[in-house]
Amino acid sequence: MYQYTEFDQQFVKLRAQQFRDQLDRWQRGELTDEQLLPLRLQNGWYIQRYAPMARIAVPYGEISSRQLRMLAHIARDYDKPTPELLAHAQATQNELQAAQPGLTLAAEPLKYGYGHFTTRTNVQFNWIPITKAADVMDLLASVGMHGIQTSGNTIRNITCEAYEGIAEDEIVDTRPFAEIARQWSTLHPEFAFLPRKFKIAFNGSAEDRAATGWYDIGVQALKNAAGEVGFTVKVGGGMGRTPVIGSVVREFLPWDQLLNYIEAVIRVYNGYGRRDNKWKARIKILVKAEGQKFIDAVEAEYKAIVEQDGAPHTITQAELDRVRAFFVVPELKPANLPSGVKTDGALYQRWLQQNVSGHRLPGMRAVTLSFKRVGFAPGDADADTIDALAQLADQFSAGEARLTHKQNLLLPWVFESDLPALYEAARKLGLAQPNIGLLTDMIACPGGDFCSLANARSLPIAAALTERYQDLDEVFDLGPIDLHMSGCINSCGHHHSGHIGILGVDKDGKEWYQITLGGADGTHLSGPALAGKVVGPSFSASEVPDVIEAVLTTFRELRKPGEFFIDALRRIGHDPFKAAANGARHPKEAQEEALSE
Amino acid sequence: MTTMKIIAASALPTSAETEKVLQIANDAELAEIAASGALQGVERVELNFPKFTDGRAFSQAVLLRRRYGFTGDIRATGDVLIDQLVQMARSGFTSAVLAEGQNPEAAERQFARYRAFYQGDALEPRPHFAREAA
């Protein structure tokens, strides 16, 4: 993986210093809250319901054991509310819970001491006091980490699909390009105050596992007939209130033109993107409104960059070679640890089937540790678990791990012979549920437990569904299903792209949930990127698990042998599923009775 | 360290200046302005920040310098705060009129922080990797 040069290292240190200076000036009253806001956002600091949230970038998901240990340290020693704050927060959440319509779902008490893995390969902490923010940034900088541009109207943390460099269907390893783009976008002077946030994703394999259709810029690597490397560039995808799939603006962009072309796209957006309405400010709205005119403007700007400006950001072969050298196969050694696992046992076999993937190197495997488990929010890891992850990475995966889009952690360099011992270790940590890609491998944002944008809590829904679907036979029988949920229309939980999507909405200060069906992220399983369709009026929290169950029961009744949920839905159409969903509404009387109790 | 002229809000000369100044709106088409010859003889272009979070003028300054060869003063006006001065200088601004209440001394400190940046800019067109290789 990429190793920071002295320049990189110094850069993040200075960035941490700069942030400390800004916080100091804010505390002295020299910066207003409003003036600090974009500065802290550009360093990944939000102010949430009860405390600041720090969003730490893990560029293209790659993380070392050393960095994991630092995250564990921060979770343990800094992700802590004062007793007063926690008591206040819990009391407020209890009030929220008591105000819900109908029979509501149980809500876990608020937790602290956790890192949370996000769909965009960031790690979030929910309880670090702002007075400790500068110290935390210094600690992160010491291991080459930061929160630069993880928020704000900037070019955000750049993601790649999780299997770059190890995928069996790899075309080009895009990590070096993502790293070059990361450096280029970091503190870009021209593009720090865009109309809205801007997200870029790379995919280097035949299958799109990076949801590139859903990104402001989605970059798909390919090789032309002559074997030359280039990119298909999609622009204008995005979720939010108006889901849009990106349009292809370039079928084949030569690799060395990547930065020049992105510069052209973002410059056109910076000039013409709407700034009068937050909900219409993403590039998707500009692309949708202008269509071919937008593409023409980008091409004209790109041409001017090349012909008039001298294309200063053309990537040189030397630079590509320099960066690529960091992404060679690391030194691989089997752990050769003893294991008492019965390798012919059903559970182990299921784990092999769901959580272990093929590898482009013979004898090697990629293993996904599941962070979808009873008693934990999707993607949550406490300090001890993060420390244990670092150890697993060191023992079994050349010191490297990867955060995945689905909020799990992947070990990319595992010897096939080490699988039983790794399974045993993962099981002890509660990370060996064989549910990757299945219903319970659901995506969920932190929602109304923490996030001030949320309209509804997502974690009680995730918990209820996780508990309801603990029978592995049943989950295996249901087969692969993408279940995604977001606590508000900002769509951090990517509900639009779920085969089943759950969206929290607010009605009269109460939590309700919209259910969508048929969304797709762009994988082979899901088909081309597509937004799901709403099944009907929103449901109360307590209805949601029953609605999901009704939809899945209908699937089991109507499917052909071996047919997947998404395929059955497309073949049959939404109507019977919609009818089942709406039929699962709780009778009004039961809800009123529950309220009066 | 900085070659940027930082003007406190209170110090802005109010008397009529003899300089030839052109104010360019955020939504103006620079290519048309340049093609019309309107930049000829202009000593100072003023670009406005209606809010400090509105970043259109950054792109305008970059294009004036890099593409249209404007060599006169480019001045930032409007909601100009000290935490954006370095990126203004890097985008091609050579003077800035600070918004009310900004501290010019704290502004100078911002310029002393970073030795270099990754991407090329109006001051140094080559990206870091190209400078390293040279």
Contact B114 A22 (CB under 8 A): no
Contact A270 B109 (CB under 8 A): no
Kindly list the domain boundaries of chain A, sorted by start residue: 6-141, 163-324, 346-428, 443-596
Into how many domains does chain B fold? 1
pLDDT tens for A256-281 read 999 999 999 999 999 999 999 999 99
Minimal-distance CA residue of chain A relative to B129: A319
Provide the shortest C-alpha distance from residue A96 to chain B (in Å): 34
Q: Note which residues in 228-267 of chain A have CB less than 8 A from chain B.
A: 259, 267
Which DSSP letter does residue B125 get? Answer: -
Contact A7 B127 (CB under 8 A): no
pLDDT band at A103 (very low <50, low <70, confident <90, very high): low
What is the model's pLDDT at position A484? Answer: 98
Question: B59 is in which domain, residue-wise?
Answer: 5-133
ipTM: 0.96
**Average pLDDT in chain B:** 91
Fold (topology level) of A443-596: Sulfite Reductase Hemoprotein; domain 1 (3.30.413)
E strand spans, A374-434: 380-382, 400-403, 409-415
Contact B59 A267 (CB under 8 A): yes
Size of interface A-B (CB pairs under 8 A): 101
CA-based end-to-end distance of chain A: 58
Q: What is the CATH number of the domain that holds B73?
A: 3.20.20
Q: Does A38 touch chain B (CB under 8 A)?
A: yes
Of A17, A187, A194, the CB nearest to B55: A194
Name the token pair of A75: 């979770």
Of A72-81, A103-112, A182-191, the poorest mean pLDDT is in: A103-112
In this prediction, residues A52-56 reach a mean pLDDT of: 95
Task: Report whether pLDDT(A69) > 50.
Answer: yes
pLDDT tens for A317-360 read 999 999 999 999 999 999 999 999 999 999 999 999 999 999 99
Of A300-304, A394-398, A573-577, B10-14, the poorest mean pLDDT is in: B10-14
| DSSP 3-state of A365 | strand
Minimal-distance CA residue of chain B relative to A321: B129
Hey, of B83, B91, B111, B126, which one would you mutate to test binding to chain A, going by the most A CBs within 10 A of its CB? B83
pLDDT tens for A129-139 read 999 999 999 99
Please state whether the predicted TM-score (pTM) of the whole model is above 0.80: yes
What is the model's pLDDT at position A597? Answer: 44
Domains A346-428 and A443-596 share a fold: no
What is the model's pLDDT at position A342? Answer: 94
pLDDT tens for A294-317 read 999 999 999 999 999 999 999 999
Of A443-452, A467-476, B96-105, the poorest mean pLDDT is in: B96-105
In this prediction, residues B88-115 reach a mean pLDDT of: 90
Contact A190 B62 (CB under 8 A): yes
What is the model's pLDDT at position B3? Answer: 77
Q: Give the separation between CA A545 and CA A502, rounded to whole angstroms.
A: 11
Task: Report whether pLDDT(A592) > 80.
Answer: no
pLDDT tens for A394-436 read 999 999 999 999 999 999 999 999 999 999 999 999 999 999 9
- Select the CATH number that applies to the domain covering A346-428 from these four: 2.40.430.10, 3.30.830.10, 3.40.50.300, 3.30.70.3340: 3.30.70.3340
For A447-482, give the DSSP string.
GGGT-SS-SS-SHHHHHHHHHHT--HHHHHHH-B--
Of B53, B118, B129, the CB nearest to A38: B53
Which of A484, A436, A439, A431 is closest to A458 using CA atoms? A484
Q: Does A186 touch chain B (CB under 8 A)?
A: yes
Q: Note which residues in 327-356 of chain A have CB less than 8 A from chain B.
A: none
Contact A316 B129 (CB under 8 A): yes
pLDDT tens for A154-177 read 999 999 999 999 999 999 999 999
pLDDT band at A10 (very low <50, low <70, confident <90, very high): very high
In this prediction, residues A54-58 reach a mean pLDDT of: 97
CA A340 to chain centre: 35
Pairing of strands A247-254, A229-235: antiparallel
Of A100-104, A219-223, A250-254, A339-343, the poorest mean pLDDT is in: A100-104
- Select the CATH number that applies to the domain covering A163-324 from these four: 3.30.365.10, 3.20.20.190, 3.30.413.10, 3.90.230.10: 3.30.413.10
Q: Which residues of B touch A40 (CB under 8 A)?
A: none
Q: How far is CA A74 from CA A71, A136, A138, A142, A390, in A?
A: 5, 7, 11, 13, 14
C-alpha atoms less than 13 angstroms from C-alpha of A184 in its C-beta half-sphere: 25
Contact A22 B83 (CB under 8 A): yes
Minimal-distance CA residue of chain A relative to B28: A271
